C-alpha cells in the first residue's frame, strides 16, 4: 500500500525539520515548495501548473469537485465499481443534495464493459467517475473511451489515478479526462497526506466549489473574512493550510520518478507483471488481474484461502504485500527486478495451500 522509502525522501523530511528548528514557520519557503510540487505534478500529468490543485488527499479534491456540480439540472453521478470507497461515499453523500447515484458493475470476467458505462450515462449526468486501475483487482480501464462516452452526453469525466501515477505514463490530453485526482503514498514514493487534482483549464470558469478554504482564495494573505473570491486557476479547489512536511517529501519523490521516466517505468513494470502472472499461472494460482498489458497496471492480485495469514507469513520473510477482498496484492515498481518475482513466487509455492 506504500512505496519504498528513499534516502532522498527521508532527507526531505529532515530538511523540513531543520527549517522548523531554526526559523519556526517558514511561510515563504513553504509556499515556494508547494509551487514546486504543483509544477512537478503538472509535468507528471502533461498539464499546466495552473490546472493543478495541491490537495491533502483524493477525498479533498473529489469533495471540492462535487460541491461545484450543477446537481439541480444534472443530478446523476455515475460511479464504477472499481472506485476506492472514498469516491463512492462522497458521491452518495450528494444524495443529501438531490443527487442520483448509478453504479457500473463488472461482468463475469471482472472487467467493466464500455457498454455498461454507455447505458448508465444519460443527459442528466453531471459526472462520471472511473478509476484508472482497480485497487481490488488491478484491472485497468480505458479512460479515453469512458471520457468520450461522458462527453457525448455533456457530462464530465473524473479519473482516480492513485493506483497508476508514477508507474504508468499518464498524459491528461491523451486521456481526454476533465478531472484527474491522485496522491503520493504509492508509486510517487512519498507519504500519505498529500494529493493533487487536475482540472482542465476550460472548465475553471464553470466550476466554483462551495467546499473551500483560505488556500483557495485569489489572495491567501488578504485574510478577508467578509468575502469569497476563489482563485482563477485550479487553486480554487484547494482548502486550508497544506500538509507542509508531505510537500517536502513529495517534491523529492516526484524528482526520482521524473528522472527515471514514466514511460521507462511503465515498460519495466509491465514486463515484471507479465512475468509474475505467467509464473503464478504455472503454480495453478487464481490470478484476478488480466494478463493483457493494456488491461492491467502495476498491481497483480491473487486469490487466497486465508489472505490475512498469507500476507502475514510473507511479511515475516521480508516480503511486503497487502490484501483486499480476499486477494493478495503484489505491487511492482521500477526498483523491483526479476529476482524479486522469483522470490515471491518461491514463497507462494511454499504456501500453495493458501492459494485459491
At residue 89, does pLDDT exceed 90?
Answer: yes
| 273-312 tens-digit pLDDT | 999 999 999 999 999 999 999 999 999 999 999 999 999 9
Q: Is the dihedral of CA 268, 288, 190, 212 positive or negative?
A: positive
Whole-number pLDDT of residue 2: 87
At residue 17, does pLDDT exceed 80?
Answer: yes
d(CA 168, CA 184): 14
Model confidence band, residue 12 (pLDDT cutoffs 50, 70, 90): very high
3-state secondary structure 32-43: HHHHHHHHHHHH
Model confidence band, residue 65 (pLDDT cutoffs 50, 70, 90): very high
Q: What are phi and psi of 78, to 5 degrees?
A: -100, 130
d(CA 205, CA 218): 14
Q: H or E stretch including 126?
A: strand 125-131
Whole-number pLDDT of residue 1: 72
Helices (H), the chain: 7-23, 27-45, 58-66, 85-93, 114-120, 143-152, 172-175, 244-260, 262-283, 307-316, 338-349
Give the predicted TM-score (pTM) of the model. 0.95
d(CA 223, CA 221): 5
| 244-258 average pLDDT score | 97
| 306-345 tens-digit pLDDT | 999 999 999 999 999 999 999 999 999 999 999 999 999 9
At residue 35, does pLDDT exceed 90?
Answer: yes
| 133-154 tens-digit pLDDT | 999 999 999 999 999 999 999 9
Q: H or E stretch including 182?
A: strand 179-183
d(CA 19, CA 221): 21
Sheet-wide strand order for 327-331: 299-303, 327-331, 322-324
Helix (H, G, I), strand (E, B) or coil at 171: coil
Whole-number pLDDT of residue 26: 87
Whole-number pLDDT of residue 28: 84
Model confidence band, residue 233 (pLDDT cutoffs 50, 70, 90): very high
CB neighbourhood size of 215 (10 A) = 19
Whole-number pLDDT of residue 27: 84
Model confidence band, residue 221 (pLDDT cutoffs 50, 70, 90): confident
Work out the mean pLDDT of the chain and round it to a whole number.
97
| 107-116 tens-digit pLDDT | 999 999 999 9
**Domains, the chain, ordered by start:** 7-260 (3.40.640.10), 262-354 (3.90.1150.10)
| 151-208 tens-digit pLDDT | 999 999 999 999 999 999 999 999 999 999 999 999 999 999 999 999 999 999 999 9
Cβ atoms of residues 128 and 149 within 8 Å:
yes
Amino acid at each position: 500500500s506504500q512505496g519504498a522509502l528513499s534516502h532522498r525522501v527521508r532527507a526531505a523530511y529532515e530538511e523540513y525539520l531543520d527549517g522548523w528548528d531554526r526559523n519556526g514557520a517558514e511561510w515563504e519557503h513553504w509556499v515556494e515548495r508547494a509551487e514546486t510540487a504543483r509544477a512537478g505534478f503538472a509535468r507528471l500529468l502533461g498539464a499546466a501548473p495552473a490546472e493543478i490543485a495541491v490537495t491533502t488527499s483524493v477525498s479533498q479534491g473529489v469533495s471540492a469537485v462535487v460541491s461545484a456540480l450543477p446537481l439541480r439540472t444534472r443530478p446523476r453521478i455515475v460511479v464504477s465499481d472499481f472506485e476506492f470507497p472514498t469516491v463512492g461515499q462522497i458521491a452518495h453523500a450528494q444524495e443529501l443534495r438531490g443527487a442520483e447515484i448509478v453504479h457500473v458493475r463488472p461482468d463475469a470476467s471482472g472487467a467493466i464493459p464500455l457498454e455498461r458505462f454507455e447505458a448508465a450515462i444519460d443527459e442528466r449526468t453531471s459526472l462520471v467517475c472511473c478509476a484508472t486501475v482497480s485497487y481490488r483487482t488491478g484491472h485497468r480501464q480505458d479512460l479515453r473511451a469512458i471520457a468520450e462516452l461522458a462527453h457525448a452526453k455533456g457530462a464530465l469525466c473524473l479519473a482516480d489515478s492513485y493506483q497508476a501515477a508514477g508507474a504508468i505514463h499518464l498524459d491528461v490530453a491523451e486521456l481526454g479526462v476533465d478531472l484527474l485526482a491522485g496522491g503520493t503514498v504509492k508509486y510517487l514514493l512519498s507519504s500519505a497526506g498529500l494529493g493533487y487534482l487536475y482540472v482542465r483549464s476550460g472548465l475553471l470558469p464553470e466550476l466554483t466549489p462551495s467546499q473551500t478554504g483560505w488556500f483557495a482564495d485569489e489572495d491567501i494573505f488578504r485574510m478577508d473574512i467578509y468575502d469569497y473570491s476563489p482563485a482563477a486557476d485550479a487553486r480554487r479547489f484547494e482548502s486550508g493550510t497544506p500538509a507542509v512536511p508531505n510537500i517536502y517529501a513529495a517534491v523529492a519523490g516526484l524528482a526520482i520518478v521524473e528522472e527515471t521516466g514514466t514511460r521507462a517505468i511503465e515498460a519495466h513494470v509491465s514486463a515484471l507483471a507479465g512475468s509474475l502472472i505467467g509464473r503464478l499461472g504455472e503454480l495453478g494460482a487464481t490470478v484476478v488481474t488480466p494478463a493483457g498489458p493494456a488491461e492491467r497496471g502495476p498491481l497483480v492480485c491473487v486469490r487466497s484461502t486465508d489472505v490475512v495469514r498469507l500476507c502475514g507469513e510473507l511479511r515475516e520473510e521480508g516480503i511486503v504485500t497487502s490484501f483486499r477482498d480476499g486477494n493478495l496484492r503484489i505491487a511492482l515498481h521500477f526498483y523491483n527486478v526479476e529476482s524479486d518475482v522469483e522470490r515471491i513466487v518461491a514463497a507462494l509455492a511454499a504456501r500453495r495451500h493458501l492459494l485459491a
